[in-house]
A and B are shown apart, each in its own frame.
Chain A
Amino acid sequence: MVLLSSCGQETDSKYPVNDQSFVMEGPLFQGPNTAQASFTPAMNAEGELTSATLASAVLKAPEGQNFDAFSDVVLQLVTSSSDMIQVGVLNPVPKGQSSLTLQVSNEADLSELLSSGECVWVIDANIPVDMMDTTITFSGDFMFDVTHTK
Chain B
Amino acid sequence: MMKSIFLTFSLAILTVGVAFGQDKKADQKEADRLIGVWAPSNGRALVKVQNIAGKYYGRIVKLKEPIDPETGEPKLDKNNPDESLRDTPLLGYRMLKDFVYAGDDEWTEGTIYDPLSGSLYSCTIKMKKDGSLDIRGYIGVKALGRTDVWTRVK
Contacts and interface: CB of A to CB of B under 8 A. Distances in A.
Interface of A: 31-32, 34, 36, 71-72, 74, 76, 78-80, 83-84, 86, 89-91, 103-108, 120, 122, 124-126
Ranked 10 nearest A-B pairs via Cβ: A32-B92, A91-B87, A83-B98, A89-B88, A107-B82, A80-B53, A84-B97, A124-B92, A72-B89, A105-B84
Nearest to A89: B88
Nearest to A72: B89
B82 A32 contact: no
Contacts of B92: 31-32, 72, 74, 124-126
Interface of B: 50, 52-55, 57, 59-62, 76, 82, 84-85, 87-89, 91-94, 97-98, 111
Contacts, number: 72
B84 A106 contact: yes
Contact of A78 (B52, B84, B87, B91): B52
Contact of A80 (B54, B62, B93, B94): B54
Contact of A124 (B54, B59, B97): B59
A78 B53 contact: yes
6 contacts: A31-B61, A32-B91, A91-B87, A108-B82, A124-B94, A125-B92
Nearest to B61: A31
